[in-house]
Amino acid sequence: MSDTALIQTRGLSKSFRSRDRKAAKEKKTIDAVRGIDLDVGEGETFGFLGPNGAGKTTTLRMLATLLTPDGGEATVAGADLRLRPADVRQRIGYVAQGGSTSEAWTAREELVLQAQLYGVSRAEAEKRTERALEAFQLAEYADRKIATYSGGQRRRVDIALGIIHQPKVVFLDEPTTGLDPQSRAHMWDEVRRLRAEGMTIFLTTHYLDEADALCDRLAIIDHGTIVAEGTPEDLKREISGDVLVLGLGAGAAEPAAAVLRGEPYVNRLEPIDDGSLRLFVDEGATAIPMVLRSVEAAGLSLSTVELHRPSLDDVFLTKTGRSLRES
Amino acid sequence: MKFLRDTWLIFSSQIKLLLRQPTWVLIGVFQPVMYLLLFAPLLKPALSPLGVVSDAEVYRIFVPGLLVLLALFGGLFSGFSLIAELRSGVLERARVTPVSRLALMIGRSLRDVVTLVAQALIITLLSLALGMRVHLGNVLLAYLLLALLTLMMSSLSAGIALTVRSEEVLAPLMNTAFQPIFLLSGIMLPLVFAPRWLQRVADWNPFAWATDGTRALFAGDIYNDKIWQGLLIIVVLTVLSVVWAARKFATSVR
């Protein structure tokens, strides 16, 4: 717990009553978030990582005052989430996953109104809008209807709307989901720029490379609980050793896995698809010849071998037993 | 005051959007104007048992009904635009700001009220051109009643829209629920022609009271009890539906 923590949660939890009609009789509840503790420091970019349905968005929506927590406590930007939600709202920005713009308006109109909703005078709202349009490279289209914007441009408007009132912390829910690679790179630059300006950023993503590239610290959430937390480097270091990715050709993954699973130097083994395997080993360089021998002894052939340091995907795999891509 | 400023911000942005497509206001009056021109003339013989002998008298009975109809449906369909805003995330973005929740709702409903008053003006002016004669004071009071009715329908529609959250459910629900209410309100023909049992049922329909009140105002029958009764009923129901919808706004926008 640090003095400058901008977001602090203790035992934050939320459950939903099942909306399934068949299950309605039993009043089944789903524990979406099961007591999480988070500390995000001032100026930090914090990544919240997990598969769909893990509880990322629910947590974010609680912190942004859109959902009332069922249990636990949270302080956001110096205000108690339960007792002073109005103060929290004044101090945070929130950019929803699905976007938040109306096609009938122009970016300029949306930004001016948004600033005014935070109590800013019209003149000041226009001044800030001008700056935001410039900073997000939207000036060129500022007076066109948002209906004519590309996905990347809309996303930039969303983020500009989220920070127009100069919040202390901004929540970005999957800021790059659905963007093409170029827009995604552009968005990363925007996030880095906000960070450089000293803004605290709390973002969710299910892209590991994104978390790796942008975040100072991150937490991995799965089934509503935090399964790992730390800097990307710390987390990668937690998995000792190397990762080998074996390319074996279609259908060969199963028999090869059967052979390799018993080998003493293999710490862990995961099939990627029916033709490739991922092995966690202590030392890649010495493991490769042994793997080669075992595979060939079983009458199989190895077409490719990749050796790499653990990635966040590997971290996720070891922490949750699943690959992010399959979840 | 924050609430007034917030309401004004929401209202003025909604009006700006409306003015960008003013054709909707005109499309909204197209049907009532058609009724006025093509249906009202048929009513003279039908209304003769009430002592109606001139076109002007027909309009004084028919136009108030038309205006109540406009108020009813003008507010009723505001739920659809709300669902669109819900889906686009616009409403959620507003909810993360410190803007007053009541202002979010009232600002939108006032847009419907302004639309209704503009439409009512068009219909009234047209009726005046067709020979109807009314007192200005009475018409203004009738507009107040109609404005309240719109506010009530608009907030009711918003509350229902936030509950069902889908156009596919909202459309049939609205049509089914409001068809009997519409038929039982004496909008097309005064309920004095109705059999007694139908009149007793209609006594429970607030829109029947609103229609009677508006009609009495247009007739210049200012001492008719139906006027204050209609106003009272609508004021109470408007307050209730606004409070309900505002609570929905505060809690249910997921």
pLDDT tens-place values along chain B, 254 residues long:
899 999 999 999 999 988 888 787 778 788 889 988 998 888 888 888 888 888 888 999 999 999 999 998 888 888 898 999 888 889 889 989 999 888 999 999 999 999 999 999 999 999 999 989 999 999 999 999 999 999 999 999 999 999 998 889 998 988 888 889 888 998 888 888 889 999 999 999 999 999 999 999 999 988 999 999 999 999 999 999 999 998 888 776 54
Given this model, what pLDDT does residue B73 score? 84
Report the residue of A14, A102, A108, A118 to disrupt the B interface, i.e. the one with the largest count of B CBs within 10 Å.
Answer: A102
Mean pLDDT for the stretch of residues A60-89: 93
Residue A4: CA count within 13 A, CB half-sphere: 6
| Model confidence band, residue A18 (pLDDT cutoffs 50, 70, 90) | low
* In contact, B64 and B218? CB cutoff 8 Å: yes
Averaged pLDDT, A248-255: 88
Confidence at residue B254, expressed as pLDDT on a 0 to 100 scale: 42
B98 and A64 in contact by Cβ < 8 A? no
Cβ–Cβ below 8 Å for A96 and B98: no
pLDDT for residue A236 is more than 80: yes
Nearest-CA distance B128 → chain A (Å): 37
β partners of residue B253: none
Decide if A323 contacts A316 (C-beta within 8 A). Answer: yes
8 A C-beta contact, residue A38 and residue A7 = yes
Q: Is the pLDDT of residue A135 over 70?
A: yes
CA distance B254 to B252: 6
Residues in chain B within 8 Å Cβ distance of A113? 9, 13
User: What per-residue confidence (pLDDT) applies to B129?
Assistant: 93
Query: Any alpha helices (H) in B184-224, and if so which ranges?
Result: 196-202, 206-218
Minimal CA separation from B95 to chain A, in Å: 7
- Does the pLDDT of residue A232 top 60, yes or no? yes
Reported as a pLDDT band with limits 50, 70 and 90, residue A19 is low
Chain A: residues touching B (Cβ < 8 Å): 64-67, 86, 89-90, 92-94, 96, 98-105, 109, 113-114, 116-119, 161, 165
Average of per-residue pLDDT values in chain A: 89
Beta strand pairing status for A217-222 and A225-230? antiparallel
Which pLDDT score, from 0 to 100, does residue A22 have?
A: 55
B2 vs A99: CB contact, 8 Å cut-off? no
pLDDT of amino acid A115: 97
Per residue in B184-239, pLDDT tens? 998 888 888 889 999 999 999 999 999 999 999 999 988 999 999 999 999 999 99
CB of A260 within 8 A of CB of A277?
yes
**Residue A301 confidence (pLDDT):** 87
Do the chains contact at A117 and B17, CB–CB below 8 Å?
A: no
Least confident of A35-44, A179-188, A275-284, B18-27: B18-27
Q: Per DSSP, which regions of A77-216 are E strands?
A: 79-80, 92-95, 169-173, 200-205
Question: Could you say which of A90, A99, A113 has the minimum Cβ distance to residue B98?
Answer: A90
Region A33-50: what's the mean pLDDT?
Answer: 94
For residue A253, what are the CA distances in angstroms to A69, A234, A289, A300? 45, 31, 18, 10
Say if strands A217-222 and A200-205 run parallel, antiparallel, or are unpaired.
unpaired
> In which band, very low, low, confident or very high, does the pLDDT at A11 lie, cut at 50, 70 and 90?
very high
Cβ distance of A66 and B17 shorter than 8 Å = no
Contact A118 B98 (CB under 8 A): yes
> Can you spell out the DSSP letters for A211-224?
HHHH-SEEEEEETT
